[in-house]
Structure formats: structure tokens, C-alpha cells
Structure 1
């Protein structure tokens, strides 16, 4: 089976923001898209966007940090659309606290949703990719992997994703499967707006502060991240694997 004959993708956390933009971009590139999120109804706009581009779409409700839910969710995708050969692990949450104030629950929830889910989803989907002899796994990391005050849990999860991605690239390459990571910088989304609300400051103040470390003259948009994901998914990127691409408007390493 070739890439062109099995164009089915899964995007986790695709109800809004970056995940929704990725799902739409993949549909533009000719993929049918399954969107996995906690609430299937919340994915309705993403589904409409995919279908408006002439592609099939499926919303699946699943907790991607739960092993059985992942198995059931992927099975629902196979039944509804077919075997997936593209997986974008985008689901994520934040629970920001300084180390001294961070509870074990804050730590566990962020590690489970942001990192454990990548392992569970990739393990479940890679068998379908092996059977097809082709696959693309793209994991969403973050510039937080380089360290950030108040996000020890999130930074650890996003750094872990980078190590996991490189290991998957080593193990799965001989099956025609690539694994890469996209690490966004500051992106304007509902999530970043909610951070400003929790901080009790105007969102524009957050943007102005972040712009001090962004050198292209503007904050990031979800489409910037979707474009980077599309590069790694493209069949022409078959010689690129185990890489981390920082999409941050400034040099990062």
C-alpha cells in the first residue's frame, strides 16, 4: 500500500486552535481526518471545515491519556474512515505552578495528557502504518522544552516528547515510518487567551511581553504550526525523521 492510497489522518486535541488548523490543513492536502478530543461535539466546527474541503471527517470522543480509550478511539477511526497512516499528537493541557507550589496532581495530569498520550496513540497507530509500509507521526512539542518558569510539568512533558520522537524515528524508520516533532513558540489561541485571564492581565499585555523574544514582527498563528506539520507529513519528506522543528519566530535550539 502506498501513501496515496491510504490518506487517513488522526489529529488529537483537534477541537480548536492549533489542532483544528492542522486538521484543516491536512484536509487541504487531500487527507480524510479523524479528530479525537474529550468531547466529540466540540469538534463539530473542525469536522465542518474538513468536509467543506471535500474530505471525510470523523469526530471521536476519547481521553488520549487512557489506554483503553485510545484502543477504542483508534478502532472507531478504522471502522469509520479506514486504517490511519498519519498521526498528529497535538492534545495538551497546562497547569502552571512554580515548583514549590506544584501539586502531584498538577504534575500527573500534564505529564499524562501531554506525554503519555503520545506514547499510547503512537503505539496503537504504528501497527496500521507498518501494515501499509508507510506512515507519518508528528508530535507537538514546545519551546517550553528548553525550560520556562512556572511550567516544570509542561516543560518536562514537552522535552520528553522530543526524546520519544527521536526514539520512534530509530525504531520505525525501517517500516517506512517517519517521526518528527514541531515545537511552537507563542501562538495566539483560545488557550493563550485563557492564560491571560487566569493571570488577571489583558491579553495584549501578554502579547507585548512575548514579542520581546520574537523577531519576525508578529506573534504566531495556528496556521504557522499547521504548515510545519504539513511539511513533515508530505510524502516528499521521507528522508527527514527524528527532527525537532522550532516554529517560534526566533532561533531556538
Structure 2
């Protein structure tokens, strides 16, 4: 489901707009496509321009408008360049979706300092830097909407210490930015995806029967009993970015099929019914 015309005349930046190779679609690629389908012109930011080019091809084939910006959003210079490129090419920066992230498995005991730093740099510093340069542009033009892609890992244990810390920081950053810039007409919200199927998930766990089994468990653990995808995150982000959400700010919205609303004990019978992978 798309919302044709809802974002007509809007200019958007989506970071991490390419998809990691693998099954499914990444949240950045899906969000960029949905924003374009709703009428926005989209700057597709990615450190891997060939991945962003694949997103561009889909958007243009669908009649949308987009452009690729290759850059490293952990660099303030590149982040500023992306914001400037969107303003120069499209005339404004109305929407920013901070989507870059990396999941590196490990507790605080076995996560290396390098992996910790990388987790926070990619999953949190990037949002800080692009927002730092986008906010003054939005304020000068009278407002805008920022959507940060967080995770339920920001308020649930996952065994991924760096990722959880970064996403928890993303949620805190969201609320603080909403407070700090609301009177400048800038709304700031976050989407917190649950256990969705994306290429990033496969890049961490691999394409194995065990991974497929875990995905079935993830689906059964939700109130809906169904699997989530990058498209579910994209539609939520597009709504929060749109004027339909004009009085919503400072919200961290779980898009998780209800998984954070139930306890493992309540779901135990349903999970036991999921057949394990054959040896």
C-alpha cells in the first residue's frame, strides 16, 4: 500500500538507501521507494553507490524522482555534503530518514573495542551528523520531519551490546531533538523495528535452515503470528514523515507485530509448535 501524492513537492534524504546483498529488502531501500511513490524527490545516500543505484533504478522505473549521493555519513564533511546536495538538487530538505546501522553480535564481555566503536559510529554517529547539518536547513525553511530508524533492541535484551546501546541512544536522541527543535517546526520521531526479515539479518546469521527456523520463531512470537519486512518499517516511516502526522513528535513507534507487548511465557505454547530444522 502506498500513499500517492501525500508527499508531493517534498524533498527527502534517506541514509543507507541501498540494500545489503541477500534475501528481502532493507529498510532504507524500502523507505526510499515508498517515499518516492508518495511523491517525494529522494536523495539516496549510501557508502556503496552501486547499492543506491539499484534503489534508484526501481524508483525511476516507477516514475519517481531520486538521485544517488555516495558518502560516508560518519564523516561530518560527507554528511554536510549530502544535505547540501539535496537542497541544491531539490530546492529544500523536508524529510530526513536516518537509517544507517550495523548489528555486531556480542556481549560487553566479548565485544571488541573496535566493534563497539563501529556499532556506535554507524548506528548513532551517522544520525547525529546528518541531523546536525539538516536541522539548520529545515529551520531556515520553516520546518521539516526527521525519522530515525531505531530498534526494539534499544529497550530489549538481544546479546548485541553495541547495537542495543546505539539504538537506545537513537531513541534518546529522537526525544531530545523533538524537544530542542519542535518550536522551529521540526518534528522528530523514531521507528523501532522488531524481528524483521531483511538482508542485514541474513548477513549476520547467514542463509541456513537454522536462520529460517529462527524467522519462523520470530513470526510466531508476535501477536499477529506473521513475519515483518522492511516494507512495514518503510510505511511507518513514510507516515511519520508526512503531514498526516503533523501533531506527532517525540515518539518511538514499535513496528514489531506486538512482540514487545507479550512475555515469552505467554507465547511458549505457540513457539513449541514451530517445527525445528531437520538435522
Change (3 A) 1:92 1:235: same
Report whether the alignment pairs 1:62 with 2:65: no
- Tell whether the 8 Å contact from 2:12 to 2:86 is kept in structure 1 after alignment: no
- Which has the higher mean CA deviation after the structures are superposed, 136-145 or 74-83? 74-83
Secondary structure, aligned partner of 1:33: strand
Report whether the alignment pairs 1:211 with 2:219: yes
TM-score by length of 2: 0.84
Gaps in structure 2 of 5+ consecutive residues: 1-5, 20-25, 262-279
Whole-angstrom distance in 1 between the partners of 2:215 and 2:50: 30
Q: Which has the larger radius of gyration?
A: 2
- Name the structure 1 match of 2:42: 33
Q: CA RMSD in A?
A: 1.8
Gaps in structure 1 of 5+ consecutive residues: none
- Name the structure 1 match of 2:17: 14
Q: How does 1:139-218 map to 2 (within 5 A)?
A: 139-197=148-206, 202-218=210-226
- Name the structure 1 match of 2:85: 76
- Tell whether the 8 Å contact from 2:53 to 2:68 is kept in structure 1 after alignment: yes
Whole-angstrom distance in 2 between the partners of 1:238 and 1:70: 26
The one-character-per-residue Cα deviations of 1:103-148 (angstroms, maximum 9, x if unpaired) are 1111100101111111111111111111221200000010101132
Match of 2:254 among 246, 249, 252: 246
- Tell whether the 8 Å contact from 1:12 to 1:36 is kept in structure 2 after alignment: yes
Secondary structure, aligned partner of 1:93: coil
- Name the structure 2 match of 1:53: 62
- Tell whether the 8 Å contact from 1:56 to 1:81 is kept in structure 2 after alignment: no
Q: Which has the larger helix fraction?
A: 1
The one-character-per-residue Cα deviations of 1:168-211 (angstroms, maximum 9, x if unpaired) are 1111111111000000001111111122218x653212212323
Whole-angstrom distance in 2 between the partners of 1:88 and 1:151: 23
